[in-house]
Chain A
Amino acid sequence: MITKTIMCPKCKNTLTVQGNPGEKVHITCPSCNIKGVFTFPIDESISRVVHDSFALEIKDLTKKYKELIAVNNLSFNVRKGEIFGLLGPNGAGKSTTIKAILGLIHTNSGEIKINGFDIIKKGIEARASVGYLPERVAFYDNLTPLQTMNFLSELWGVDKSVSKPLIKEVGLEDAINRKVGTFSKGMVQLLGVAQVMIGKPPVYILDEPMGGLDARWVKIIREKIKMLNKQGATILFSSHILSEVENLCHRVAIINRGKLIAEDTVANLNKYLRIKPRLEISISGLNGRVPEVIKNIEGIEAVNANDDTLFITCESYVKSHIITSLQNSGLKIDNIKTIEPSLEDAFVKLIEGGA
């Protein structure tokens, strides 16, 4: 049972209600009689207990290539229905991890489950629940997209009538009878996205799906990821470009040199690292001088002045205090920009800290 205090959106009257997580209650405001529905939030700790089945389970994964330890005792889980980002600089072990998940490479140790199926003991069932887009995808030069998709559908064990709609879905219908050997990199990648959806598996693993593609293709692929997730699919994708991940993923794991450095939501990662937002304030006539009034404000980490722009790194709660102080001292503020901490900052901090 949860107790919540809610506020009427119209008359601002407050009311206390009780209910179970996920329960919906119909409320009538006692003072202005407006009707509304309130849904009790699902408690995080409860949902974690309920989520005993994961889409992907990676436990103690280690892969050595001769002297090099590509993946070092890596463990993480991907929950059903989430978009999970696997982040790390080039050569961090992302592709190796993904290939190990699919059983394409042999591991030195570790246990991997896709949709509950062990990739070694139940390889066929595990692979039947996952669509995979490799980092360097290629097909057969002498076959057309339609022949390629027909072949792959048949290999998956579904009727080849799915081929045409999927080719259409990624926008390759104009090239449906051209040989794949004549395709551009972006077109091959789109065919790669089309084949991922054969058989409508519940889990998708995309290795650098947007790597090296121009903005138009990136947009199509982002939309496909969102769409699949909306339909209930779980998606794991890797990237070394943070902006790709930030607005798309529910959670991310950051790996470097084959080791897990962090695994959390983007927001929590920022909080955990306590990366402070930055203020960029344009003041005419500043001339690279830091105003006296803000020098003694507590909560400011760093101040920099460059020509007419002031750069301040500070705690969130002092932002308004800084601005009022500046205005009260008679300075004319032309523009204010707040730069929220990005994953890039978290990334740099984590890797520097870990190295």
Chain B
Amino acid sequence: MVGFNFKSVYTIAKKEFMDNIRSRWIIAISIIFIILTIVSSYVAGGQGEFGGMEATVATLLSISALLIPLIAIMLGFSTIAGEAEKGALYVVLSYPVRRVEVLLGKFLGLGSVLALTPLIGFGLGGIVIAATVGAEEGLAYLAFIGLSILLGVMYLSAVICISALCSTRVRAIAGGVILFFWAMIYGLIVMSIYIASGGSYEDFLSPSGLSSLPDWFWTSVVFSPNDTNQMAVMQAFGLKQAFGFQIEAPDWINMPFLLTVQLIWLLVPLFLAYFFFKRRDI
């Protein structure tokens, strides 16, 4: 019978947390993240003529869209491929534990390290915003923190999957780099298809142009965890434009839809990771 031991999951998670929270790279990038969020919360939020809430959110969003996936990838790329190559995984898997417990423990432990950065960064940033702009958007802001963590966890799940699949650390790094640039590559691909099929950049500048966008264009958003997450943040704040671009989506792209898509992005790579890890020769 297939058993399951929660204590092993907890033990692995605790170890991953303790090990990675001390990693110099993770500390360095987290400090950069925290400083950037506090500074931009002050600059974008505090200066009345510059922006207010819309500009603040747009700025914070661009920071998190770049740095949170980066932290997730740095945390996760070597967790299986690297440890198998170095030898630590041999010891752990020779203990009375199941691979599913090790995998879940890693996911939860790395996930907690990952969650810490946006919690501290956006938490402190939130205090700055509350002091300068005001606290009216408090709930939306909390949702934004939650969505940022969700973004990181989606990337973490994907990068663990890559690490479980790749036989060497170097290949896992390559996989991580591709994953990191996926959001940009994907946006470019969709855009060029749209332009090639007779569309124009002008369509993104006005509400009427936006409503003329074909359905496939909106549906394509589900293939980019980054875009899905950003749209959810915009909707949480009720934003209709950012940096001059119109971003109001059709009605069916609502919060439940976006959250479901992100949940799929979270779970499917994790299941695949288990599949790869299970059949892997260590």
Contact present for A99 and B282 (CB under 8 Å):
yes
Which residue of chain B has its CB nearest to the CB of A127? B96
Interface string of A123-154 (1 = CB under 8 A from B): 11101101010111111111100010001101
B:49-98 near A, CB below 8 Å: 83, 86-88, 90-98
B15 CB contacts on chain A under 8 angstroms: 140, 143, 151
Cα(A138)–Cα(B86), bound, Å: 6
B91 CB contacts on chain A under 8 angstroms: 132, 134, 137, 139, 152, 192, 195
Of the candidate stretches B6-14, B144-152, B185-193, B265-273, the one touching chain A is B6-14
Contact present for B11 and A151 (CB under 8 Å):
yes
Contact present for A136 and B86 (CB under 8 Å):
yes
Least CB distance, B266 to chain A, in whole angstroms:
26
B12 CB contacts on chain A under 8 angstroms: 155
Contact present for A104 and B90 (CB under 8 Å):
yes
Contact present for A102 and B94 (CB under 8 Å):
yes
- Does A36 have its Cβ within 8 Å of any Cβ on chain B? no
Interface string of B15-52 (1 = CB under 8 A from A): 10011101100000000000000000000000000000
**Contact among B3, B90, B96, B281 with A156 in the assembled complex (CB-CB below 8 Å):** B96
Q: How many residues of B contact A (CB 8 A)?
A: 28
A103 CB contacts on chain B under 8 angstroms: 93
Knowing A124-B3, A136-B87, A138-B87 touch, does A155 contact B92 (C-beta < 8 A)?
Answer: yes
B:93-135 near A, CB below 8 Å: 93-98
Which residue of chain B has its CB nearest to the CB of A157? B96
A195 CB contacts on chain B under 8 angstroms: 91
Contact present for A127 and B90 (CB under 8 Å):
no
- Does A2 have its Cβ within 8 Å of any Cβ on chain B? no
Q: Can you offer 30 A-B residue contacts whose CB atoms are under 8 A?
A: A99-B90, A99-B282, A104-B93, A104-B282, A105-B281, A106-B281, A123-B98, A124-B96, A125-B96, A127-B96, A130-B94, A132-B94, A134-B90, A136-B86, A137-B87, A138-B88, A139-B88, A139-B91, A142-B18, A142-B19, A142-B20, A143-B18, A151-B11, A152-B91, A154-B11, A155-B92, A155-B95, A155-B97, A157-B96, A192-B91
